[in-house]
Structure 1
Amino acid sequence: MTTFKDARSGAAITVKVTPKAKATKVQGVMEDGTIKIQVTAPPEEGKANAALTDFLAEKLGLKANQIEIVAGLSSERKLISLIGITPDEVDARLKSAPEKKPAKKKLPGKPKKKSKK
């Protein structure tokens, strides 16, 4: 009898994505363990999926090729495979990584005066 073993360790997470949000961030965890994440990208032409995988890569310290949406490409609920990270590491990194705040927009106004020396 042949035994198959997974050559790469990793984790699988379920995510509920909210597109077209004001900021990209983790909103929390639902009762069933699903991670709620909002992204600023619209749900068209894979933009929200790309924003989600980019966000997860940054938050979790992974490369893009270590993250794959394995189910739910056109759904708000997605099953995501994460290679090279344990479930405990996912939990710790999502809790410890600071949220990105959107850059402040500079409002048009008077230029600052140069000080005379």
Structure 2
Amino acid sequence: MSADWLREAADGGLVLTLHVQPGAKKTEFVGLHGEAMKIRLAAPPVDGKANAALCAFLAAFCNVPKSAVALISGETSRAKRVRVDGATAEVLARLRALG
């Protein structure tokens, strides 16, 4: 299993490469989409709602505050890079197990 979508930054943070599908029935990890992890989001892609829902979903999954999750790139694109600070080794293992 390759985890090219998941990288550890030098300062201990995680950088996730994601492919986001907004407007889905429920928010969930789907699986690999090329070299990115695909996530379906229940939020619509209007007024930044999908980006906010993505950050909230990742914060909950990683058990970190919402302020520890930041969108690096892809604000208006389905292809996004997100940084997560403060994730534990257990969370890293859960993320690796996804893809």
Q: Shared fold by TM > 0.5?
A: yes
Query: What's the CA shift for 1:85?
Result: 2.1
- Structure 2, unmatched stretches of 5+, are 1-8
One-letter amino acid of the counterpart of residue 59, structure 1: F
What TM-score do you get using the length of structure 2 for normalisation? 0.78
Counterpart for residue 101 of structure 1: none
Q: How does 1:1-117 map to 2 (within 5 A)?
A: 8-32=11-35, 34-85=36-87, 89-93=91-95, 95=97
As a proportion of its length, which structure holds more strand? 2
Query: What's the CA shift for 1:20?
Result: 0.5
Whether the aligned pair in 2 keeps the contact of 1:60 and 1:94 (CA below 8 Å) is: no
Between the aligned partners of 1:17 and 1:60, the Cα distance in structure 2 is 17
One-letter amino acid of the counterpart of residue 24, structure 2: A
Query: What's the CA shift for 1:93?
Result: 4.8
Aligned length: 90
Query: What's the CA shift for 1:30?
Result: 2.8
RMSD of equivalent CA atoms:
2.5
Between the aligned partners of 1:91 and 1:15, the Cα distance in structure 2 is 17
Whether the aligned pair in 1 keeps the contact of 2:18 and 2:37 (CA below 8 Å) is: yes
Identity of aligned residues (%): 32
